[in-house]
Amino acid sequence: MAHLTSDSVQQLLMVLDLTRRAYGAGISPKQAYRDAVRRVSRHHDLYYQTIGDLRRRLGFPDIQQYRQQIELWLTGDAAPLWRTIATHSDVAAHALLKRFFEEGVLPNEGDGKDRVSQEPVVSDSSVRPIQTPLEELRLRINPDLVKRIQLAKLAKIGATIEDTAAVLIERGFEAEKDRIRQFLAGL
């Protein structure tokens, strides 16, 4: 199997950085990783699966083994994950790995290439903004649904009620339950 190039390693490190930041904000490792892959794939205008397939290129036949190494890293044991990535990457990428795992610094930090990792983790930037012009639509909504949307807005799922409603419509309320619980626990 071909080694990961420096560009692929950089994308992988962006995923790991976003995963670490989301995990630090209280998101589960599984959800943090999925959201990070989504954000990095959109940032690089790639399919989700393209970024997700980096795991297979690291020699993990199933996602669970990879998640275990990520969880070890998140809890302080970086050696297994670092070793695995180094083993499957070009020698040219090893300096990027060393800087990331020892100093916590992303490759090219500060040049704008990794801007996706500098966005707030808890805002829902994993959902693309609506690209079409908006039309006003007035609806009568069940009061319970209104309360759920307002609660989601308070949990900073969207910047406005409209943004929040759009996120909830696209991703569904089930996807937001953990974030709302985390927000309420912090009150």
Separation between Cα atoms, residue 74 and residue 29, nearest integer Å: 8
Q: Which string of DSSP letters, residue by residue, matches 20-33?
A: HHHHHTT--HHHHH
* Residues linked to residue 107 through DSSP beta bridges, in sequence order: none
pLDDT tens profile 128-167: 333 444 455 566 667 777 777 776 666 666 666 666 666 6
> What pLDDT is recorded for position 130?
37
Separation between Cα atoms, residue 89 and residue 152, nearest integer Å: 41
User: How many residues would you count in the chain?
Assistant: 187
For 89, list phi and psi in degrees, rounded to 5: -125, 160
